[in-house]
Structure 1
Amino acid sequence: MLRTMINAAVSMNEVQKQLDIISNNIANSETTGYRAKNTRFSELIRQQFNQVDEKNEQVANSRLTPAGLRLGTGTMVNASINSLQGSIKQTGRDLDVAFGAPSQYLQVNAGGNIRYTRDGSLYLQPGNNRNQVQLVTSEGYPILDENGNAIVLNANFRDISIDKNGRLTAISRDNQPNQQVNLGVVQVNNSSALASEGDNLFSVDGTYQGALTALNGANREAIQLQQGALETSNVDMSKELTDLMTTQRSYQMNSRTITMGDQMLGLINTIR
């Protein structure tokens, strides 16, 4: 009974993690460019008890399973990022951009660290002096150019255009030269390398070889950006709600297992 209760307790802890992930997906169903997380369970290592000593050699040789008992020790939840493309919503706003390729991300500077985001809702904030503005995300993180530098523009412009290859052009006033800069865009070749950092940002695990490709130079032709549009979250609400109910039932079942084990131990203790 103690082993059963321990296994159920371990599983309940992992099911709680799954509930947290599903709740986070539902809470971000309206977040621009949000990537949902998928969960799956894997069984923890089993323990083998070889308490069977088969005397009949013919019977022993005909066994299809190992002799003895193989007892599990619970389960573990694994989370992965859903890399499917979200729906594109037209906004008509010049500083809104949406990726048409599911594996492409903008580079941003978050506290001195390079992070990646699909959130194409961009804004301008005052720069180091009154004549400059800086391009940032909706959370205020600086957008980086293809060289890894923050994008700072002279404030004397009347319009901004962003082409499909990520070139931003600030059309100047008074016949002054236009300002042009290439947005920093990368392609994630292995979504398993992505780790969520909050604020709709991701980092990349450096142990994954070739996980990123910087789309610079000739590679910029592969960029698929659409100005005046945003990518919505790729959360499937019907799936998340179904998974939520299934996970709650799983939690209840494991909780009931602990209760039944406790009741059986109580019956054993009352035996005289």
Structure 2
Amino acid sequence: MSVSCSSQIHGENEISRVQLRSFTNCRDLGPGKLDPGIIQECAKIVAELNQETAVYCTLNVYIGSTQDSEALRDELRRIRLRGLELAQLNKLKLVPLLNNTTLSPDDTQELERLYKIFSACLELLETQLIKSLALIKAFPLHNGTKVLINTGTSEPFLLCKHTKITVENLDTSTCSKTLLEQEEIRGLKRDVNALHELIYNITQSADINPWADFEPPPSNKTAKTINASSSISGSADTAVTHNTVRTQRCVCVIVLTFSAVTISAVVIGVVLGII
């Protein structure tokens, strides 16, 4: 009987030690520190997406001009597909980290900064895709006769480095090229819709306003307007002050005049009463 009691007491002591040890460990826990490699990977994806978006914006200007060609449109297709791939990849890596509430404030701030850059790239890429879709519809290369716009640039197009000229491309008939061009338009429409849906899903998943802390610096025109309004308000305040002082002076003069007339009447009355 004594053995069982001692074993029970020993067991309770062990349980209390385990509980105390567990609470002590919980007291030492703080905000989790994220692996720097994960943040660097997300930053690398955002930087590459930013570069691809910038190149797409540059090449998109040439659609419908005399520098427009199949090589240009193939390069735009390659950049578009690469941009969608990067956007989808960064959605899987960056967005789940933004919803983690156990991270340190420094990691949270860095992730929010990357998200704002990422969101801006996606919005700009969507705008450029819509623009290129309208231009490709307006200036088909193999469907109908469309006069290309002469931009005054006479040098050949040298920015397409990833396009390979093959015998199959040279032997493709005009009918096949027309069908390929129509298929390209349909594929561009699908990519625009896919990117729009991706932006919507990312916005719903991450509760961060990209323009929350953005305060544009005042321009020269705005500064002049502010200075003019401040000078106008200053002059208005000065005029109000002068008017107030003038009113107070008028009131003082009226009060003194009324007092003098009253005193004079009282004195005259006293003098007449004595006489």
Question: TM-score, normalized by length of structure 2?
Answer: 0.27
Whichever of the two has the greater Rg, that structure is: 2
Higher relative contact order (CA 8 A, sep 6+): 1
Whose strand proportion is higher, 1 or 2? 1
Question: TM-score, normalized by length of structure 1?
Answer: 0.27
Whose helix proportion is higher, 1 or 2? 2
